[in-house]
Amino acid sequence: MNNFGIFFLISYIPIEIKLINQLILSFKKGGKKIKIIVDGSSEELDIKGISKRLKDIGAVSLKTEHHYIDIDMLGTLPSDSEITPVTTNSAEGLEIYRHSTSHILAHAVKSLYPEAKISIGPATEDGFYYDFDVETPFTAEDIRKIEKKMKQIIKKNNPFVRKTIKRSEAIELFKEMGEDYKVELLDELPDDEVSLYEEGEFVDLCRGPHVRSTGVIKAFKLLRTAGAYWRGDENNKMLQRIYGASFPSDKELEDYLNFLEEVKKRDHRRLGKELDLFSINDEIGSGLIMWHPEGALIRKTIEDFWQDEHLKADYNILYSPHIAKLNLWEKSGHWDFYRENMYSPMDIDGMDYEIKPMNCPFHISVYKSRIRSYKDLPVRYAELGTVYRYERSGVLHGLLRVRGFTQDDAHIFCRVDQIEDEISKVIDFTVFVLKTFGFDNYDIYLSTRPEKYVGSQENWDISTEALRNALTAKGLAFEIDPGEGVFYGPKIDIKVKDSLGRPWQCSTIQVDFNNPERFAISYRGSDDKEHMPIMIHRALMGSLERFFGILIEHYAGAFPLWLAPVQLSLLTVSERHSDYVEKLKNFFKSAGIRAETDVSNEKIGYKIRQTSMRKIPYSVVAGDKEVESKVLSLRKRNGDTVGPFGKEELLKILQKEIEEKALYK
């Protein structure tokens, strides 16, 4: 949920509410007008004129200088106000629209299940959810009933009516209603007055705004249920969450539901099982990945590419331990700033050791292993280092959210005058790697100083400016992401977009003055004095596990030839062709092609279907004709056939495609 959603869900700003009808009357009598801004053009209209304009453009809310407000609050504004209509063409308008749908969901649940207790119901990027405290989890039949009830409420076109009351009165009201979660929220609010929204016989605690009435909601669908701890804390009670999608038109909803079907088909957990790539076993532990042979083969291919390219780019490859003394993490600041994501220390020989959540301190140790000169810098270390972080069980998700993962980590130690050049090189390297894997569409964010940070403001400013200058010099568009830097420095985040247009956080570049200072690392300058280097943290893919999950979904399991675990399948028409395809397999494998044979007694149609289901890029069928002529027709996984080729010619074709890392079409 974005900041706007949090803001209008549980943030309350007292607004003096007078009788709207009286104010509208006073406006009419006094001839007062309000300035309305539409598509950059402004004009002054009276209440009647503005109301008509708002209806014509389909406004769901109004934006004043400081707030989003309900359309029905128009009459409360002074005559010198400026308003901007908010429609569902904007993110804010969709948020309001979807949050209003969540209220209708809560109304429907309370109507059907009066014993249910309501908690929160925010909008999400594509819809909404609401959490309920119920004795028995909702069933599919329950969801159908709730959806039917929601449609009835929408048909009634109940107005959303905002009321402001004293917080103490609201607490008493919700206590009488038995709504414990609302009481808990109210207890923590600092405001003397809060707002409630009535819709039909349903009342909810909410800052708003909302659409005018339930009839404004045109298209929605309840999607699924899930368990969710109250306030995301596993020590709290598990609630039942109902997710839904909400759109301004049936066409948009239909398109979104089709999109969800495509997402479902590409789910890396399903494809990982079907293609036998990886597994997660409860006997081993949640969030810990077992790489199966074909998945491991893809991983090896990725690692080989990664290491080769890093060596070309003048990085040195490192390997570091999986544990270290706890005081190392205290010194680095991770124990103070990152403890909730670390595991409990273990006692070894009477000393506390910690399983590593990061690789940084180890690379610093290697840097400090000998005296460095200004001529040695930059020093670039890279490691595929496996780290372990505590993630709550409720957020674990296949390969995308795990507890043990391998970072494609690197740290650059450089002089201050080298920062921008090094960042520029890292950006180029990142773009090259992402494009090689088929990601040429991405968004870039510059994340600035968070509320909780270490180091001087001066160093933060220097670091942030270096990142900004490198992006600007490249002519790359980027957005500022305020307060989202890590505790030791600002960063650049690159979010790739997959084949479905979904963004994924992968690459990051971070400038760090903090750790060099904490670990007292230095180099001898041209003035023969000791100086502190700057440390740049960077990851191109993020982690191998997460990146692999993204790749599976991006390609729907149909990897390009250079990544495919099996690149060529050689199929026999009958048993008498077995010797021939075995010789072919040996020929291609000796040349580095990942080839396999299927010499089973199954019919050739079945064998072809199997290679298609396994998403093998190419296959060759060998029968009497092929054995006699020694020529081969290459069958693509999409069903097209090219050739015939001699085996040497076919080998060159495959090798060229692999060498170029061509993306399979």
3-state helix, strand, coil in the chain (%, to 5): 40, 25, 35
pLDDT at 40: 65
DSSP assignment of 523-574 equals: EE-TTSSEEPPEEEEEEEEEEHHHHHHHHHHHHTT---TTT-S--EEEEESS
In a domain, 46, yes or no: yes
In a domain, 270, yes or no: no
pLDDT at 14: 35
Rounded to an integer, what distance in angstroms lies between the CA atom of residue 206 and that of residue 446?
33
- Helix axis angle for 419-436 and 457-473, nearest 10°, is 50
pLDDT at 32: 55
Contact, 643 vs 633, CB < 8 A? yes
Strands 503-512 and 534-543: antiparallel
> CATH code at 609?
3.40.50.800
Mean predicted confidence (pLDDT) in 638-662: 92
Q: What is the amino acid identity at position 325?
A: K
Distances in whole angstroms, Cα of residue 449 to Cα of each of 487, 490, 533? 8, 6, 21
Together in a domain, 124 and 221: yes
Together in a domain, 227 and 238: yes
pLDDT at 2: 42
Together in a domain, 239 and 162: yes
Q: Which of 415, 426, 421, 420 is nearest to 521 (CA)?
A: 415
In a domain, 75, yes or no: yes
Together in a domain, 171 and 31: no
pLDDT at 86: 84
Active-site annotation holds for 360? yes
Together in a domain, 35 and 175: no
Distances in whole angstroms, Cα of residue 454 to Cα of each of 37, 490, 534, 584? 44, 11, 15, 62
Together in a domain, 579 and 650: yes
Give the side-chain half-sphere CA count within 13 A for 340.
3
Mean predicted confidence (pLDDT) in 4-19: 35
pLDDT at 34: 66
Active-site annotation holds for 491? yes
In a domain, 276, yes or no: no
Active-site annotation holds for 397? no
In a domain, 481, yes or no: yes
Active-site annotation holds for 411? yes
Q: Which of 418, 451, 569, 547 is nearest to 494 (CA)?
A: 547
- pLDDT above 70 (res 317): yes
Active-site annotation holds for 22? no
In a domain, 542, yes or no: yes
Q: Which of 63, 99, 212, 491 is catalytic?
A: 491
- pLDDT above 80 (res 15): no
Q: Tell me the per-residue pLDDT of 362-390, one tens digit each, with 9 for 90 and over.
A: 999 999 999 999 999 999 999 999 999 99
DSSP assignment of 341-357 equals: GSPPPEEETTEEEEE-S
Q: Is 615 helix (H, G, I), strand (E, B) or coil?
A: coil
Together in a domain, 122 and 241: yes
- pLDDT above 50 (res 545): yes
Q: Which of 99, 117, 360, 408 is catalytic?
A: 360
Q: Is 436 helix (H, G, I), strand (E, B) or coil?
A: helix
- Helix axis angle for 293-312 and 544-555, nearest 10°, is 110
Q: Which of 190, 145, 147 is nearest to 167 (CA)?
A: 190
Q: Which two tokens stand for residue 218?
A: 């045109």
In a domain, 281, yes or no: no
Together in a domain, 506 and 584: no
Rounded to an integer, what distance in angstroms lies between the CA atom of residue 81 and that of residue 69?
13
> CATH code at 409?
3.30.930.10
Q: Which of 70, 380, 407, 546 is catalytic?
A: 407
Q: Which of 207, 268, 537, 577 is catalytic?
A: 537
> CATH code at 71?
3.10.20
Answer with the residue of higher pLDDT: 388 or 44: 388
> CATH code at 117?
3.30.980.10
Rounded to an integer, what distance in angstroms lies between the CA atom of residue 312 and that of residue 305?
11
Q: Tell me the per-residue pLDDT of 594-607, one tens digit each, with 9 for 90 and over.
A: 999 999 989 999 99
DSSP 8-class letter at 67: -
Q: Which of 520, 581, 540 is nearest to 305 (CA)?
A: 540
Rounded to an integer, what distance in angstroms lies between the CA atom of residue 508 and that of residue 506?
7
Mean predicted confidence (pLDDT) in 319-346: 91
pLDDT at 283: 93
Q: Which of 409, 493, 512, 598 is catalytic?
A: 409
**Who's near 506: CB < 8 A, 6+ residues apart?**
434, 439, 494, 495, 496, 539, 540, 541, 542, 546, 547, 550
In a domain, 93, yes or no: no
**Who's near 277: CB < 8 A, 6+ residues apart?**
271, 291, 292, 294, 295, 298, 552, 565
Q: What percent of the chain lies above the pLDDT cut of 90?
A: 73
Mean predicted confidence (pLDDT) in 31-37: 64
Answer with the residue of higher pLDDT: 75 or 472: 472
pLDDT at 234: 80
Q: What is the amino acid identity at position 660?
A: E
Q: What percent of the chain lies above the pLDDT cut of 70?
A: 93
pLDDT at 27: 40
Q: Tell me the per-residue pLDDT of 199-257, one tens digit each, with 9 for 90 and over.
A: 999 999 998 899 999 999 999 999 999 999 898 888 899 999 999 999 999 999 999 99
Domain boundary at 61, 86, 111, which?
Answer: 86
Q: Which of 389, 449, 468, 585 is catalytic?
A: 389
Together in a domain, 639 and 511: no
Average pLDDT, the chain: 89
Domain count for the chain, please give it. Answer: 5
pLDDT at 68: 85
Q: Which residues pair with 36 in a beta bridge?
A: 43, 83
Q: Which of 241, 266, 268, 411 is catalytic?
A: 411
Rg of the chain taking only CA atoms, in angstroms: 30
Q: Which residues pair with 509 in a beta bridge?
A: 492, 538
Q: Which of 265, 260, 256, 291 is nearest to 555 (CA)?
A: 265
Together in a domain, 309 and 414: yes
Q: Which domain holds residue 57?
A: 3-86
46-60, 173-187, 325-339, 532-546: range with lowest mean pLDDT: 46-60
- pLDDT above 70 (res 183): yes
Q: Tell me the per-residue pLDDT of 494-511, one tens digit each, with 9 for 90 and over.
A: 999 999 999 999 999 999
Answer with the residue of higher pLDDT: 87 or 564: 564
Q: Tell me the pTM.
A: 0.84
**Who's near 326: CB < 8 A, 6+ residues apart?**
335, 345, 351, 352, 353, 354
Distances in whole angstroms, Cα of residue 191 to Cα of each of 4, 184, 195, 588, 592? 19, 14, 10, 74, 70
Mean predicted confidence (pLDDT) in 562-566: 97
pLDDT at 452: 82
Together in a domain, 226 and 368: no
- pLDDT above 60 (res 635): yes
Mean predicted confidence (pLDDT) in 427-445: 94
From the number of C-beta atoms within 10 Å of its C-beta (0-12, 13-18, 19+), residue 369 rates as: exposed
Rounded to an integer, what distance in angstroms lies between the CA atom of residue 275 and that of residue 563?
14
Mean predicted confidence (pLDDT) in 167-193: 94
Q: Which residues pair with 397 in a beta bridge?
A: 401
Domain boundary at 555, 587, 611, which?
Answer: 555
Domain boundary at 353, 370, 404, which?
Answer: 353
Rounded to an integer, what distance in angstroms lies between the CA atom of residue 11 and that of residue 68?
12
Q: Which two tokens stand for residue 537?
A: 């943290």
Active-site annotation holds for 625? no
Together in a domain, 58 and 110: no
